[in-house]
Amino acid sequence: MQERPKPEGDLEKRNSNLFAWTVADMPEIDPNFSGHKLSILHGSKPVAQKLRRMSLEKVSEIKK
């Protein structure tokens, strides 16, 4: 069984009982409903997405 991660943010600390950290924390929810599946063709090759660059204005604000 996985350990619960320790809450890092203030919101998580105050409301840690509201977060479902593992499937065991939500036994009444069907895993088939909450899960997901990637529809990938067998034998297909991965394709890298085009690199998205930020504007210089945004980059300078992030560095501040």
For the residues of 18-51, what is the DSSP string, one character each?
G---SGGG-TTS-HHHH-------TTPPP-PPPP
The pLDDT, as a whole number, for residue 5 is 63
Burial 20-35 (b: 16+ CB within 10 A, else e): eeeeeeeeeeeeeeee
pTM of the model: 0.30
Greater confidence (7 vs 48) lies with 48
- Confidence band (pLDDT; 50, 70, 90) for 6? low
Q: Is 39 left (phi over 0), alpha (psi -120 to 50) or beta?
A: beta
Q: Say if CB 45 and CB 36 are below 8 A apart.
A: no
pLDDT digits (tens, 9 = 90+) for 12-50: 777 777 777 787 888 888 877 877 788 889 999 989 999
Q: Is the pLDDT of residue 8 over 60?
A: yes
